[in-house]
Amino acid sequence: MRNQSQPVVDTAFLSVQSAATYLGLSVNTLYVWRHRRQGPPSFRMGPGGRVMYRRDLLDAWLTEQQEVDSRSNPALSPLNKPPQSRSPRRAT
């Protein structure tokens, strides 16, 4: 029997509530991102048009976020780039 105090996500399709738990975000954040066409991809499923998320796409989105963040991707860190040289100033 599973521990009911910790939600376990083990399905391919997640509701907004489950996706928010999976990502560690609030449900409101996911709704705002969806309205602004930001955040992970989502879709409507079924006659009631429930908003759903695919778990594999959530994982891909998280990986993409990590890769474009200079703090977690050394290739993008400005600290790893050679210093820029200034052109000499001319007296006017």
The residue ranking higher by pLDDT, 35 or 5, is: 35
Q: Which two tokens stand for residue 26?
A: 């609030």
User: Distance between CA atoms of 26 and 28, rounded to whole angstroms?
Assistant: 5
Structure tokens at 30: 């996911």
pTM of the predicted structure, to 2 decimals:
0.66
What domains sit in the chain, N to C, each tagged with a CATH number?
13-73 (1.10.10.10)
Question: Which residue in this structure is represented by tokens 């599973």?
Answer: 2
Name the pLDDT band for 35 (thresholds 50, 70, 90): very high
